Amino acid sequence: MSDIAIRVDGLSKQYRIGGPQERYKTLRDTLTDTFTALFRRLSSVVRGQSSVASNETIWALKDVSFEVERGEVVGIIGRNGAGKTTLLKILSRITEPTEGYAEIHGRVGSLLEVGTGFHPELTGRENIYLNGAILGMKKAEIERKFDEIVAFAEIEKFMDTPVKHYSSGMYVRLAFAVAAHLEPEILLVDEVLAVGDAAFQKKCLGKMGDVAKEGRTVLFVSHNMTAINLLCPRTVLLSEGNVVRDGNTPDVVAEYLKTDSESGGECVWRDPYRAPGNDRIRLHAVRIISDGKVTGEVDIDKDVLVEVEFWNFMPGTRNLCANIYLLDNLGNTVLSTANVPSASLLPNEWFYEPHPAGLFRATCTIPGNFLNEGLYYINAYVVTLGPLRVEVRAEQVLSFTVFDTGVMREPGGGSRWDGVVRVRLPWQTEFIRPLDGNSVLEQQEL
């Protein structure tokens, strides 16, 4: 039996921009489309016109090749549009490649996006049995796992409700529970941590860790570099449909973060309608300011100001706040903070007030002598609270370097301190008493 679970060779996928979208077809659709296309080509030849479509095309994947051994847990990372989801859809047989091929050796379970694989008219209970049947499981096998799935998803009251009435959180809880518990030999997971609360995300990570320990093969797509580092010894980096690096996870993550962020201290979107966000809120700029200037290099002794500017297009919006995540060079979260009253040392005069339409700037100050030397990345978000709604998501939008020009570079001062932060904490040394000749140590020395 081969040790290879997944073999991808020269895999490419082309889409037509502005053309009709690919959809599932019946035999009748296929025959109709074939004769229609043939008639159009013949008509074009008679009229002396070209039959080549004028629509622009784009390669979502181009000549992607790699192998995954049985029992490997492999991360797939890259910016939005890099081809990650397209790759998993091809491996899940949801879409066909334009060129190349993929070999899958084993039963595949996938969680690609909220609700994939569920029939909206069926209940949660019925969809569990449907998914198990698709995986080739017998009814007895599904029944053996049923209680575990329901307990994990925590939606027992809604198991006999059609899933079309589920919220996105309920959908993803059940979808992940089904994908992880029905024992596929190969598990394909695409950004499951993008939906759900912190407790559920932690539970998902724990379950994926258990799946990996059981020796099953996992392909895990995520923007969460902490999760990638935690779960995946090996990671593949995609960029514009190509594999740019495949190897040890810390090295691949470091390259991704380094190449996927602006390092000049500022990122500005001049056209608000092309900026990250939605019809309600759009990002305008993110800046790093230190010593009174925009910079990508920060003296360790100086304060670091992170500015987040955003447009509000919905006058009257309340509970609107900026949020930043600071990551280290391995993608670990150093800190997260937001300009909500409970998390700010300064009074926030805008949070509870209705925001007029216009441009806002939220500024967070990271004190000097707090961060260690090294490279750091900023994730910027704008959210509304009550309930939580992410309006803007801009990940690895900026990077900056902290360097030491002070005491740690003086002769005998040493070098970089261990740890992520380098805080000067209050220490005090005091004299307790002189030696009196009666202590055990003094008697030994005598």
Domain-located, residue 169: yes
Q: Smallest Cα–Cα separation from 332: which of 372, 364, 294, 302?
A: 372
Q: What CA–CA distances, in Å, run from 117 to 133, 193, 331?
A: 12, 18, 31
Helix (H), strand (E) at residue 258: helix 249-259
CATH number at residue 289: 2.70.50.60
Kindly state whether residue 98 falls inside one of the protein's structural domains: yes
The residue among 204, 228, 259 that closes a domain is 259
Q: How many domains does the chain have?
A: 2
Q: Domain check: are 282 and 384 in the same one?
A: yes
Residue 300 and residue 204 share a domain? no
Residue 420 lies inside a defined structural domain of this protein? no
CA distance 366 to 425: 16
Do 184 and 313 lie in one domain? The reply is no
> Does 407 have pLDDT greater than 80?
no
Return the percentage of the chain with pLDDT > 70, whole number: 81
Global pTM reads: 0.62
**Percentage of the chain surpassing pLDDT 90?**
34
Same domain flag for 43 and 134: yes
What integer pLDDT is reported at residue 119 of this predicted model? 85
CATH number of the domain bearing residue 136: 3.40.50.300
State yes or no: pLDDT of 64 exceeds 90: yes
Does 87 lie in the same domain as 27?
yes
Asked if 18 and 144 sit in the same domain, the reply is yes
Burial annotation 112-143 (CB, 10 A radius, 16+ → b, else e): bbbbebbeeeebbbbbbbbbbeebebeeeebe
The pLDDT mean for the chain works out to: 81
**What integer pLDDT is reported at residue 261 of this predicted model?**
61
> Does the pLDDT of residue 27 top 50, yes or no?
no
List residues bridging with 297 in a β-sheet: 401
pLDDT in the model for residue 36: 59
Domain that holds residue 185: 4-259
pLDDT at residue 54 tops 50: no
Q: Is the pLDDT of residue 144 over 50?
A: yes
311 shares a domain with 235: no
Q: Are 117 and 229 contained in the same domain?
A: yes
Residues 446, 82: Cα–Cα separation, whole Å? 74
| 241 and 339 inside one domain | no
**220 belongs to a structural domain:** yes
Same domain for 158 and 129, yes or no, is yes
- Looking at the structure, tell me whether residues 226 and 334 fall in a common domain: no
